[in-house]
Structure 1
Amino acid sequence: MSTSKTPLMAFLRQAWNLAHAANKPDALPTDELIDQLKEVRSRRAFLRSSGQVALMAGGLSAVNACRTPLEPVNPAQTGAGRTGTNTPVVAIVGGGIAGLMAAHTFTKKGFTNFTIYEASARTGGRMFTAKNIMAPGLTTELGGEFIDSGHQDMLNLAQEFGLTLLDTQAPSELTLIKDAYYFNGRMYSLADVVAAFRTIALRMEADINSLPDTIDYTTTGIARQLDQLSVSAYLSRIGASGLIKELLEIAYETEYGLSPDQQSCINLLFLISTDTRGGKFDIFGDSDERYKIAGGNQQITDRLTRLYQDSIETGCVLQAINQAGSKIELRFANAPAVRADFVLLTLPFTKLRQVDINVSLPSVKKNSINNLGYGTNAKLMMGFSGRPWRNLGYSGYVFSDNGLQSGWDNSQLQGGANGGYTVYLGGSRGAQLGNGSEQAKMIQYLPLLNQIFPGSLLRYNGNVERFHWPTHPYTLGSYACYKTGQWTSIGGAETEPAGQLFFAGEHCSADYQGYMNGGAETGRRAARAIWQLIRA
């Protein structure tokens, strides 16, 4: 993974880069570096705002110039469509963004002899939008929420369907303090974090530079040695303590979803080093998690579902995969068995490991299916009559050691006076969010939010919802997360095909693991790979 899922991680990369720059012999004082950061943000904001009217009026017109041309949805048939008597059959297991994107890609190639088999009663998977649960008129994301400015597959889909983007870096948001860092009972500033980072920046740089550009299950040497260290063990080894150790551990617990003593420290070294790899050094990092879809991200999967509704079967729980001569046979718990020439498996490995697989698989593929780590992220969402964090001058993003971990305004940029807030938890706290009632969890977490943003208790409107991905029966986890040793034992094996079996989903993405874009990207790539075999 090379970009961040949470705003804290983008901030930490910025702070790391500032700390690195501040350690140079000819460096400017830290406060001057921070002033430069603010000036660059302002210049970028001006450039963004100049295109904002076009962006909002034309859907994605301000983004289109950097996008590849879109293929037509229904090109002329090329002889590989559904009607051919000898046309290969493709079975797609999973109706989330990966499976739907595969169907979309096949159709654009003129191939329509596919069927999507979805276990649940709905399509969309972890793209799941709810309406009016926080307050009338508000949409709330129960699953995937943010789209990065570099998430081309998702942005292309939004463009194709004429959907409007909400820009979390719009001018109205830049008048607010973006992030609140509440540790040890008080707020910390960027300067505080940079100063703490300076104590470990040089050691981290040395370890980052020792790693190869690509790490997978064939990698040996220093990468394999570091892969055995957890994030917590690594931070202790390099002498991190106090604020910076707490901040990094909370960051990675919410970013990847597992506790920092379970995760490989390469998660830390690869993510935080994004702007320093290969001799490149961008002091101010990049800008991630910028967009949402106005009206809800699920609109993308809903549009795809409408296009392919005649090729989707719901309620099909996969039980077994068998070799049947030259075909692959799929057996379902409550649907007839089917045979296909190619099978694309997009379900999470947490679910695939429950399937009886009776076809030959390489040992590394078996290992990845059976053991790939998954985060335990979960969301607690509360409604408010107002947005008290904004009254205090904050956008709503918060990261804290008071037990709340992280959270944000889930109603940001939506109209009306009411608001909603998402408490986003990982590790053991994410797992424990599934225990007890929603009301009990509100009683636990609302006072913690009020410590950070006073007035939240008074503005709470009585609405509370929870979505617990670790126990959701069709996912059993939030998204993929490499545990110690997994970068160099199974990394990269997730996406490798095995005979007539192909694989897609966020867990198969090298660059966008854990993102909606990872699902879309790998669904597209897998469909193209199958198509190349069909047309050969």
Structure 2
Amino acid sequence: MSIGPRSRSLRQLRRLIRIARDADAAGVSSQEAVERTREVERAALSRRQFLGGAAAASALALTARKGFAAPKPATLDVGIVGAGLAGLQCAYALSVKGYTASLYDASNRVGGRQFSLRGTFPGQAVERGGELIDNLHKTMLGWVNTLGLTREDVNKPPGDVFYYFNNQLVPEATVVDEYRAFVAAMRPDLRASSGSPTADAFNAGDQTLDRMTLADYLTSRGAGTYARKAIEESYIAEYGRELSEQSALNFLLFIHADRRSKFTPFGVFSDERFHVVEGNDRIATGIAALLPRQPEFEMRLERVRKTSAGRIELTFRHGNQSIVKTHDKVVLALPFTVLRGVTLDASLGLPAWKTLAIDTLGYGDNAKMMVGFNGPVWAELGSTGQSYSDLVNHQTTWETSPTTATTAHAVLTDYSGGVRGKNLNPAQVQTEANRFLTDLDKVYAGAKARATKNGNAYVAHLEHWPSNPLTRGSYTCYLPGQFTTVAGNEGKPVGNLFFAGEHANSFYDWQGFMEGALLSGIDAAAQVLAP
């Protein structure tokens, strides 16, 4: 089971949880545990620099998934809707087996939510969408190596993570202390859960906890003030919804996985995180360049139906034209938020469990605002650039592409979710940047004055995924009750209609990650080729 953090916010929470557990096991104070962990992190960074990062992932992993070695049909006409990572990977996997799929996308580019921004910040490519590549993301790393891209380790020598709650900076050890006190209240719930519930397999404990909101869970179990605030800001950022809109299992299963894993005391979990220096979307364009048939762009799907001959008919809107395409098999590599706006004809025979997943699956309201600075002011204050707060216009930050930053140029990512993420206005970037910088000044004194300006305008970019008509959200977030009613059904095919995308990968695999999108594409290709 691979429940891991999708953003640096939840990765830091996992670090806090680990420090708390190791402090209890070693019988030391939280402050001593924090200091020991920092020593190990510094040593780990030195090892990575000496060894040159993680070992290269094999390109053989690019189509290797259980069940892919299926007998080849003699002829096969496949249509794939969506040229994000999932659709591209599916088309590539089919091409390896000798089949040329037709690929359609409503946009004018490939990549979907993998979308890099160049030219705004001197010498740096930053990510509007998917950013971090874990050292366990073998398919992503395989493509980086196959395409000859440059991988950067975004970890820098450890500084402090800044917590600003209740109008004051809070020491990390204080947060760890409160979490240690909270652990006892969680233990009965961890025992009550099966550890991996899905719509097809769950127990009574899973169902009870699944139906409870994370907000109610933290209140009922008596989480301390600062532990709760750290969990709250981490989970709003990580999943993009308020705690009142998240299943308590989003939190408990994360802890459950951590509890069952094997760690070295005061060690580092998944300490290598990567970014493609040239921009992550070079992976998408690189895969597309290898395909035997290029995608057809500006093809917005309007209707899907099954013909009397059993084939799948797709109706697209292309400008003022209505275009119909028919295929033996079709892969829908679209977010369910977008698929809800498509007419899915009764002829498809979609069962209730599939329509429930399509109609209700939760998605985050995440937004990313990148702001340029005249050097990393946070580092001068002893921070890594990672911060959390309960301020109105600041939730969590991290330094963007730290290895390409200089003493004169640096970029900070303002990552938001929930109400703030949804309400940020991409048409008023300067207003939003000013509000953010005003609050950031409370966390990093003097930061606002160091923000880069072009004339009177801040150098900033705001990517707002909730309002993007081609995504209508960021990535999957299970709402209360969805682990036991939806989980596991997202990627299941129905006849000759198949599904791919990060949402179609398992929560217990890499759902919500770029890796999950690629794996879902491989799985969909295997399903298409199955007898």
TM-score (norm. length: structure 1): 0.90
Q: Give the drift of 1:380.
A: 1.7
1:401-438 Cα deviation digits (max 9, x unpaired): 12300112224111543122221110000011027611
Is 1:453 the counterpart of 2:453 in the alignment? Answer: no
Q: Are 1:234 and 1:265, in contact at CA under 8 Å, matched by a contact in 2?
A: yes
1:209 counterpart = 2:191: yes
Equivalent pair of 2:426/2:463 in contact (CA under 8 Å): no
1:96 to 59, 76, 84: 84
Aligned equivalent of 1:235 = 218
The amino acid across from 1:14 in the alignment is R
1:331 aligned partner: 315
Q: Which residue of 330, 335, 357 corresponds with 1:348? A: 335
**Contact 1:258–1:376 (8 Å) recurs in 2:** yes
Q: Which amino acid aligns with 1:153?
A: T
Q: CA deviation at 1:72?
A: 9.8
Q: Which deviates more, 341-350 or 446-455? A: 446-455
2:96 to 102, 108, 125: 108
Equivalent of residue 376 in structure 2, options 377, 387, 402: 387
Residue 477 of structure 2 corresponds to residue 481 of structure 1: yes
Q: How far, CA to CA, are the matches of 2:525 and 2:32 in structure 1?
A: 50
CA-to-partner distance for each residue in 1:124-147, whole Å, 9 max, x for gaps?
1000001121x3322121111111
* 2:226 partner SS: helix
Which of residues 398, 403, 419 is equivalent to 2:410? 419
Check the 8 A contact 1:345/1:501 in 2, yes or no.
Answer: yes
- Which of 489, 513, 524 lines up with 1:526 in the alignment? 524
What residue number does 1:58 align with? none
Question: In the TM superposition, what are the counterparts of 1:72-87 in structure 2 within 5 Å?
Answer: 87=75
Unaligned stretches of 5+ residues in structure 1: 56-61
1:251 equivalenced with 2:234 (yes/no): yes
- Counterpart for residue 510 of structure 2: 512
- Contact 2:371 2:433 survives alignment (8 Å): yes
For 1:507 and 1:456, the matched residues in 2 are separated by: 37
Percent of aligned pairs sharing the same letter? 33
Query: Contact 2:366/2:422 (CA < 8 Å) preserved in 1?
Result: yes
1:11-22 alignment to 2 at 5 Å? 11-22=12-23
Deviation track 1:152-210 (CA, whole Å, cap 9, x = no partner) reads 111111111111111023xxx21x41522222233223311110102211221331232
Q: How does 1:291-306 map to 2 (within 5 A)?
A: 291-306=274-289
Instruction: Choose the corresponding residue for 2:55, options 55, 63, 69.
Output: 63
Alpha-carbon contact 1:349-1:370 (below 8 Å) kept: yes
User: What's 1:142 paired with?
Assistant: 128
**Cα pair 1:13 1:273 within 8 Å, conserved:** no
Asked if 1:151 corresponds to 2:137, the answer is yes
SS in 2 for 1:478: coil
Q: Distance in 2 between matches of 1:508 and 1:72?
A: 17
* Secondary structure of the structure 1 residue equivalent to 2:314: strand
Q: Which residue of 2 aligns with 1:35?
A: 35
Question: d(CA) in 2 for partners of 1:155 and 1:502?
Answer: 26
Match of 1:10 in 2: 11
Aligned: 1:364 with 2:347: no
Counterparts of 1:38 and 1:271, CA distance in 2: 23
* Shift, 1:80, TM fit: 6.2
Q: Aligned ranges for residues 400-439 of structure 1 at < 5 Å?
A: 400-403=389-392, 404-416=394-406, 417-434=408-425, 437-439=428-430
C-alpha displacement of 1:396: 1.0
How has the CA–CA distance of structure 1 residues 21 and 210 changed in structure 2, closer, same or farther, with 3 Å as cutoff? farther
Where does structure 2 lack aligned partners over 5 or more consecutive residues? 65-69
Deviation of 1:524 (Å) = 1.2
CA contact (8 A) 1:124 1:301 kept: yes
SS of equivalent to 1:198: helix
Following superposition, the deviation at residue 305 of structure 1 comes to 1.9
Query: Are residues 504 and 390 of structure 1, via their aligned partners in 2, closer, same or farther at CA, if it must alter by over 3 Å?
Result: same
Note closer, same or farther for the CA distance 1:405–1:413 as it changes in structure 2 (3 Å cut): same
Residues 48-105 of structure 1 deviation map (CA, whole Å, 9 limit, x = unaligned): 22212xx5xxxxxx412x64735799xxxx9969xxxx62101011000000111111
Hey, what's the Cα distance between the residues in 2 that align with 1:209 and 1:222? 9
Q: For the residues of structure 2 that align with 1:198 and 1:72, how far apart are their CA atoms?
A: 43
Q: Is the 8 A contact 2:85 2:284 kept in 1?
A: yes
Q: Which residue number in structure 1 is paired with residue 153 of structure 2?
A: 167
Residue 469 of structure 1 corresponds to 465
- Where 1:239 maps in the other structure, the secondary structure is coil
Structure 1 position 106, deviation (Å): 1.3
Measured in 2, the distance between the counterparts of 1:32 and 1:429 equals: 36
State the distance in 1 between where 2:375 and 2:44 align: 29
Deviation of 1:449 after TM superposition, in Å, equals 1.4
Q: Distance in 2 between matches of 1:372 and 1:519?
A: 16
| Structure 2 Cα separation of the partners of residues 214 and 79 of structure 1 | 32
Q: Secondary structure at the match of 2:462?
A: strand
* Partner residue of 1:262 out of 233, 245, 257: 245
Work out whether residues 7 and 288 of structure 1, in 8 Å CA contact, stay in contact via their aligned partners in 2: no
Return the alpha-carbon distance in structure 2 between the equivalents of residues 429 and 378 of structure 1: 9
- Work out the CA distance in 2 between the residues paired with 1:197 and 1:406: 19
One-letter code aligned to 2:117: A
1:484 CA drift (Å): 0.3
Given that 2:211 and 2:480 are in contact with CA atoms closer than 8 Å, whether structure 1 keeps it comes out as yes
Q: Aligned partners of 2:83 and 2:106: how far apart in 1?
A: 8
1:465 deviates by 1.7
1:261-302, Cα deviation, whole Å (9 max, x unpaired): 110000001113322127x56554612571100121011001
* Distance in 2 of aligned mates of 1:248 and 1:442: 25
Distance, in Å, in 2 between the alignment partners of 1:318 and 1:259 is 31
Q: 1:397 to 1:496 in 2, by over 3 A?
A: same
